[in-house]
Structure 1
């Protein structure tokens, strides 16, 4: 390029501030957000291919490439694909970027900047290094940046005048300070050597006589880093030779007092320790929440490590060497490769057919296709939730087999299902805070948790809604909160299933813009969607034909070009430009799904975006052979008791927020209790009482306990099925979850039983034979109500949705009516005695009747204990001689039974019936 003529200077000004220039050495310059452009504009409102500058006979011209948000010339929108001439002073506006092409000054020969170049919408500071006739530009985006000749520096200058570790740049407010690290040639400012210098815009420092380093508050055009295999992350080195030889000990964790500090929400304060014993080194996991892995295998307490072993903690990788430890953060550098993905549900039924895609770090990928094409199935194979089962199928994360390293990468993945994974009764802040308590290490302080929750809220643009109940949010805002739950632990891979489903067009665009920002911020984002309106915001798009065949994979603009060739002349006359919705019809009309798969494998796009990418991976390392998928092991060192307290606190908060539901739950017992007035206070009276009604009352008492308990809990689990499934895959244990529901049932049963007994005392005043009638009755009703609550939880756990759960309550409670023994003797029902043993109403009914003492005098009467034929032969004298209270005329005076002296059959004057 240096032998070409300088054709002009392109000036740019960004709305946020800052001006820069780009020497033009070629006659066509394409501008857009896509990676194939000459000038890449890092802004979501810019189309993949937005505009083009071209040099004609009469000078420079500009064309709009049919962009979504238009290209403006002096404030007027340009018609698509019609070149407009540029005159001196003309301004071309693309979103926040203003471009002008100026003429050349005499003898102006600026050094070329290799294309492609990128330009950020946010004014980013940076360094411009002038060395050996070249101009090198480096944006400054980190808090601390190292500068030197060695490859481990953030900014590497290979000139021999630069020391291995020459200087360090530290962010200070809106600028940076550069500190000399004891270099040979030092840093010179205005002719004198300085140990450090705080930059102002335009300041120039020298390294020796020939290397100039200029600081710019707006770096402007910088060489675009091509997205190849996982980009080399910033590395740091701990030299163990600087540590004491005796008792050498290296601690690793989140706290600043550790030898190696790893600041990440998934790292424990004191996570692991490396100890030297003679010539050997031992690694101990300090009961961390998210575990420590060596060469992909989880450390169980401790393990001996050797030269070359790779230690994985959260997104960090630490390479152990005997003289030191090199460590780096893989966050923002997660590559995903899916090779020959197949999913078969039987020998003849397959959902995915040899799908191969390769996703670079920080790419935003949309998976689209008709219903039944296997979009969600493909996503589930990529996440490992439902692994592919083809013989040669493999999913690789940075070259590692995901299925065999699932425990290592589980927390590196965020997954947002189609349904919301948040409790709508909570506020935005509280929903995220409880999720953070469950997912972040137990030693995370309240301040640290608050800071992370607020970071996520700001990232999602929900600051003004953080104290609002989620029920009051729009659909798009609720989806953002669901995304926030997953973003709390900074996952490098972010999967979303139909995140834009059900949103209005404006909200859908905002959601896609947010996902674009998340990808640009360092995450690899994969979205399943049926909406194609904003697919152009993605880096790549996966088109699946029915049956799970890969019809296309590549940039969205190239997808349009690819499918355009399959349109008929009539279709082009009817509609000049193809749109993404037209692709669905083409897939249906222009061939079978298998034919579409074969066409794509013969295309240039397949070679470029599939074959070449996989080849890059093979050049890094040999692709691992697929291995049988083991059952996922869950070994997280998470306290079940801590989870119980968090879940219980969340349940209480949800109940308190649902004031109407809570009021009804508390009111149901008093409302039912008041209805006891129908029995009256004479129910147990020996004259006006009625034993049959007493039996019915106790039967109803047990039945109502079962019913109120079951109704109170039948929605508890099924209403949060989606939340439970997602939390279960990440961290949740079953026992704490169940017990967080059960203890509420215990309190509720205790409360309802007390109300029921108080109502019985006030309206009925039941009579008991012993002194412990009320305590015994309370315990019986409590256990009966609790068993109903547990039955409701069982139904709730088994039912697929809330409607079926309510119907199952009816199905389950009908046998409780029939087999209690009150409506029909159990021995008259075939198998009744056996079936009734599992019916709570049977035991409640029997125990309540026994506690009441009804019939006890009869049961204990010696005459009633005789066989029936002997009883029939007893005379009145025999009855008196045997002391029978409940047989003969004396029973009206000595035997207790409700209604025994009823005037209908008892005459006190004659004592005859």
Structure 2
């Protein structure tokens, strides 16, 4: 439904249905004889302006009126005066007729293009505060999760009313984000995300905006590489709210590139993308709250139940004023929308391929996005599952009021889409319209023929499309950027607790892995016993060799505990980081799990070692040998785990991490100072190895310098030169532990810094 909602200076409201009018040009003015819409205001010219309906859409033209006309959207504000240049209108755009001398006579018109009629509600402002927000105690309630529980309040003053902002996100008034307070003036327009409130004559007109996002692409060009190869060429189209759109085309047609431009992932392009008139490139931080993205790969935690996976995700994403009961209800609602009610307590890894895809969609539905992007959602699904998923996506667009845009290469169920964007070779837009229109355009009933045609001569079909479909004009004034947007943060304590709980529960549900993690140190201890001899803790060589084996075992265990922990979740981390995940807390939570696991592993390997081989005879000051060796084993494992985190944060896949692991182990062996005597640069490299400081700690506890050399049994005159690394002193042991602790902290800090690059990962 296309209509004008007209608010006069006295607060009177009129509605005009543009579709019921049979004329292509609808005139607006003061004269009843000359106009279709008559406005009784002394600042309106006899025939003030005209609204024109064409195949391309709706436009407004000022007809040389005395006071001119302001056309406002979040693109900017244009004064039309002494010009008959038409301006395209999009849903939510404002048409204002103002006069400084007679502000009470001003007129505000709101153009709306909606599939269902929405009724403007009226709230009379009195002498008490009117609270607006998500909370049930508010006077005006907007239920979306990205609206604060108490967003803002309207308070009476001696001269009128004042808006007080209570949200860290701010409240938008006339296109400007207010973080403190604002004196309301006649016909001020308040935006709380998509929801609109208009202040006039002591009243608020408002409605809950449930529709999805409208997307407008204007002349998109994309170049890559040193040679500036063009992979998108002058792509322009307009996507309506609540539409189900498929981007199709052959390989190399730029389908995914176009979607990455649409969703703001790639902002290195020429042209403009608008969401409901807001420039995406300039306001991505503000707009990503209403955006959902589901990649081709199912990036979900498979070792949690569906409910718990969604619950932990919600706890990480939602702001501090979202209660536990609200979060639980949001999770259940998301599960219901994707029709997985019967599987909410099922481990995700046990779901079918189609069910996992629905689970991925449910993750994004938690935040109730108004626009949804999916990359090859039907890839790898059988025909029946594909059809069911396509029906679900269509229902999502229509029933949940969400604009759904997907990239796909299959056309079996393309008829379920409202429109398709057909891309040809070289990133050329060859067609945009309904599936039936596409068949007429390409003169075929089989989309395979269209693939072949656009692959052979994409430029021809682009020219055919450009010649037969008219595109709208750009907004004539320069675009305005929204004020600085401050995202409402999730409380760090709650986010950390959720990350920690998710990590522990995920590991607990992966029983086979947990058993292997605990079985490994026990087996290694037994193997060390097999290669040991009776002279351990009596002879220098035997003792040093067995302690070096213990060092290598600790490094091996720690490294393989963690080297895939981050990279295997990298895509999930990226999605959550873009939604407000604190990467530092993520690493700390993951490392807390490593601390617990390594404590158990150190206890196992030490306990079996002590029982099978024994401990040194002489205690080191107030350090008893057994606890000191246990602590050294634990510190070795956990420092190696931190090194594993550093590798895991630096690579994008577990395979790459495992390629690096042998190199790190060889580095520890070669530069430990045990196998080879090191000089020059070798000594400096040894200083940054875990093995040097770990064997140094073990050697200090065992008092290696006091043990006889094997050669001294035959040649007693040979002196055993003491080594500073193994000096039998409490301070020396503390120094070794301190160096390992510093290495641990450095690895974790650098891991956090490196992981920030995850936002730049290519999809």
TM over 0.5: yes
Determine if the alignment matches structure 1 residue 375 to structure 2 residue 255: yes
The match for 2:597 is 748
Alignment of 1:483-882 (within 5 A): 483-521=361-399, 522-564=401-443, 578-589=445-456, 591=457, 593-603=458-468, 606-607=469-470, 611=471, 614=472, 622=475, 625=478, 635-678=487-530, 680=532, 682-684=534-536, 689-767=538-616, 768-771=618-621, 772=623, 773-827=625-679, 830-855=680-705, 857=706
For residue 304 of structure 1, give the secondary structure of its aligned residue in structure 2: strand
CA drift at 1:303: 4.0
The match for 1:238 is 123
Counterpart contact for 1:709–1:792, Cα < 8 Å:
yes
CA drift at 1:267: 2.8
After superposition, give the CA deviation of every residue in 1:681-722 in whole Å (9 maximum; x if it has no partner): 73345xxx3311211222222222111111011121111122
After superposition, give the CA deviation of every residue in 1:210-234 in whole Å (9 maximum; x if it has no partner): xxxxxxxxxxxxxxxx994787744
After superposition, give the CA deviation of every residue in 1:572-628 in whole Å (9 maximum; x if it has no partner): xxxxx5301111111123x2x33332221111xx22xxx2xx35xx6xxx4664689
- Counterparts of 2:504 and 2:601, CA distance in 1: 18
1:450 to 328, 343, 351: 328
Determine if the alignment matches structure 1 residue 273 to structure 2 residue 153: yes
Structure 2: 5+ residue stretches without partners? 3-11, 21-110, 718-763
After superposition, give the CA deviation of every residue in 1:701-747 in whole Å (9 maximum; x if it has no partner): 22221111110111211111221111111121211111111111222
Q: 1:428 to 1:906 in 2, by over 3 A?
A: same
Structure 1: 5+ residue stretches without partners? 1-34, 36-115, 117-148, 158-225, 565-576, 858-895, 908-913
Counterpart contact for 1:434–1:646, Cα < 8 Å:
yes
- Counterparts of 1:838 and 1:743, CA distance in 2: 24
The match for 1:59 is none
Q: 1:296 to 1:503 in 2, by over 3 A?
A: farther
For residue 756 of structure 1, give the secondary structure of its aligned residue in structure 2: helix
- Counterparts of 2:13 and 2:154, CA distance in 1: 27
Q: Which has the higher contact order (CA 8 A, sep 6+)?
A: 2
Alignment of 1:178-189 (within 5 A): none
Counterpart contact for 1:368–1:530, Cα < 8 Å:
yes
Determine if the alignment matches structure 1 residue 336 to structure 2 residue 201: no
- Counterparts of 2:523 and 2:619, CA distance in 1: 29
Counterpart contact for 2:163–2:184, Cα < 8 Å:
no
After superposition, give the CA deviation of every residue in 1:631-677 in whole Å (9 maximum; x if it has no partner): x9763322222111111111111111111111111222222223332
Counterpart contact for 1:414–1:494, Cα < 8 Å:
yes
CA drift at 1:260: 2.1
For residue 662 of structure 1, give the secondary structure of its aligned residue in structure 2: helix
- Counterparts of 1:315 and 1:234, CA distance in 2: 15
The match for 1:319 is 198
How many residues in Structure 1 have an aligned counterpart in Structure 2? 610
Q: 1:260 to 1:787 in 2, by over 3 A?
A: same
CA drift at 1:548: 0.5
Q: 1:833 to 1:341 in 2, by over 3 A?
A: same
- Counterparts of 2:533 and 2:118, CA distance in 1: 82
- Counterparts of 2:368 and 2:308, CA distance in 1: 19
CA drift at 1:412: 0.7
- Counterparts of 1:353 and 1:661, CA distance in 2: 50
The match for 1:362 is 242
Counterpart contact for 1:496–1:526, Cα < 8 Å:
yes
Counterpart contact for 1:267–1:441, Cα < 8 Å:
no
Alignment of 1:59-74 (within 5 A): none
Counterpart contact for 1:702–1:844, Cα < 8 Å:
yes
1:429 to 292, 302, 307: 307
For residue 411 of structure 2, give the secondary structure of its aligned residue in structure 1: coil
The match for 2:337 is 459
Q: 1:629 to 1:783 in 2, by over 3 A?
A: farther
Deviates most, 428-437 or 535-544: 428-437
Counterpart contact for 1:152–1:236, Cα < 8 Å:
no
CA drift at 1:477: 0.9
- Counterparts of 1:782 and 1:287, CA distance in 2: 46
Q: 1:470 to 1:698 in 2, by over 3 A?
A: same
The match for 2:708 is 897
Alignment of 1:183-222 (within 5 A): none
For residue 318 of structure 1, give the secondary structure of its aligned residue in structure 2: strand
For residue 602 of structure 1, give the secondary structure of its aligned residue in structure 2: helix
Counterpart contact for 1:234–1:329, Cα < 8 Å:
no
Q: 1:838 to 1:298 in 2, by over 3 A?
A: farther
Counterpart contact for 2:261–2:269, Cα < 8 Å:
no
Question: TM (normalized to structure 2)?
Answer: 0.74
Counterpart contact for 1:541–1:554, Cα < 8 Å:
yes
For residue 548 of structure 2, give the secondary structure of its aligned residue in structure 1: helix
After superposition, give the CA deviation of every residue in 1:165-199 in whole Å (9 maximum; x if it has no partner): xxxxxxxxxxxxxxxxxxxxxxxxxxxxxxxxxxx
CA drift at 1:238: 2.5
RMSD: 3.0
- Counterparts of 2:631 and 2:173, CA distance in 1: 54
The match for 1:160 is none
Counterpart contact for 2:218–2:237, Cα < 8 Å:
yes
Q: Which has the larger Rg? A: 1
